[in-house]
Structure 1
Amino acid sequence: MAEEPDAKECRKCRRDLPTAAFARDRNRRDGLQVHCRECVAEYSAAHYRRRREALGKPVRERVDVPAGHKLCRMCGEIKPHSEWHRNATASDGLSTRCKACRAALGREDHLRRSYGLTKAERDALIASQGGVCCICLAAVPAHVDHCHETGRVRGVLCFSCNAALGQFKDQPEAIRRAAAYVEGNAWKPTLVAPGVYQLPS
């Protein structure tokens, strides 16, 4: 038994430790578990490893993380707490993924929900375009373009070209007139009735 009243012997490691080193157990006479916290943690880790290996699942290795930092299991990086969103329900008050990984997951979810595409399918579409915007053939494609009536994905455009199509409301005739205008063939509409214009031949 422990020699000091504020100490207790762990039945597993046989060390005399302060009572704070033992978790509570109301079923024990002294109100403390018989094994110290350190021994319980070692047993839990070993049990976790055996259970995961029996199921054929990967075992997460324990990583030493400095104070004020947290390991993101998605990207595998140790980052300061400022790189995490708050989560009041978590034991440490932080999200399970870092801000960068959450943003990446959000983009993938948006692709799937809005266009029915995976990231790999979107990347394959960009590769089939030669890695450039389908319209300007210069800028980096970043925005998936689709038909607002059928929902069919047409391609991946740069921000400017995607915004331009939106401004033209996907009307091919308006886009053709804009092209003619830019080429110097401006047409002068003739008003033949309220709201009705006659196009030049």
Structure 2
Amino acid sequence: MAGEPSEKRYAGCKRELPLAAFARDRNRRDGLQMRCRECVAQYGAAHYRRRREAMGKPVREKVAVPPGHKLCRTCGEVEPRGEWHRNATASDGLSTRCKACRAVQGRQGHLKRQYGITEAERDEPVASPAGVCCVCLAAPAEHVDHCHETGRVRGVLCFSCNAALGQFKDRPDVMRRAATYVEGNAWKPTLVAPGVYQLPS
């Protein structure tokens, strides 16, 4: 509209600024905020810092993030966009944690939900046998073994031994026969009737 000013003077920073330097405010007569955008940003940061310090909470420092990267607030690392899972509901389309942090927290959550233990409790039995599987005494113990009937955690085994116990359905009698078979004492059940076998003593 003709005759309308194209600039506005802000008393705070004592500058004549174009109208685009002020955000809109419908409640004011000229329709613009009292402070310029730059001063609002500085005032807002200082106000946030004072409020957090008054509550005794830590103040996050601003980190310079190059284009195509994002800061993970969990680990504090600046990672490229490829190191983040997508999240359509987020403003930038990326998850709030990097892939590495999500993996760590996913493992912690799985142990807590599935077995009711923490990573420290899982690693306690590992510390005694020098961190190796107590069945094969060779591979590193990394997988929680539990009773499928009671849910009680029995210990931590390597992947192969943990899977083997599951394949044997946790039955000691089957495992003993398998051990006898492997040791060379092979024997065969005797057919005594149709569909009926007698096991050797």
Q: What is the match of residue 118 of structure 2?
A: 118
The offset of 1:90, in angstroms, is 2.0
Higher strand share goes to which structure?
Answer: 2
Secondary structure in 1 matching 2:86: coil
Q: What is the match of residue 176 of structure 1?
A: 176
Structure 1, unmatched stretches of 5+, are none
The offset of 1:28, in angstroms, is 2.1
Q: What is the match of residue 46 of structure 2?
A: 46
User: For residue 167 of structure 2, what is the amino acid of its counterpart?
Assistant: Q
The offset of 1:193, in angstroms, is 4.6
Q: Normalized against structure 2, the TM-score is what? A: 0.90
Which range is displaced more, 47-56 or 99-108?
47-56
Question: CA 1:11–1:182 in structure 2 vs 1: closer, same or farther (change >3 Å)?
Answer: farther
Q: What is the match of residue 33 of structure 2?
A: 33
Q: Normalized against structure 1, the TM-score is what? A: 0.90
Q: How far apart are the structure 2 equivalents of 1:193 and 1:131?
A: 50
Question: CA 1:89–1:16 in structure 2 vs 1: closer, same or farther (change >3 Å)?
Answer: farther
Structure 2, unmatched stretches of 5+, are none
Question: How well do the aligned residues superpose, as a CA RMSD in angstroms?
Answer: 1.9
Q: Can you list the C-alpha shifts for 1:71-122, whole angstroms capped at 9, x where unaligned?
A: 1011110011111112222222221111111111111100000000111111
Secondary structure in 2 matching 1:97: strand
Q: Can you list the C-alpha shifts for 1:25-65, whole angstroms capped at 9, x where unaligned?
A: 11123322121222212222222212222222211111111
- Percent sequence identity over aligned pairs: 78
Q: How far apart are the structure 1 equivalents of 2:184 and 2:37?
A: 82
Q: How far apart are the structure 2 equivalents of 1:9 and 1:122?
A: 65
> Is 1:150 matched up with 2:165?
no
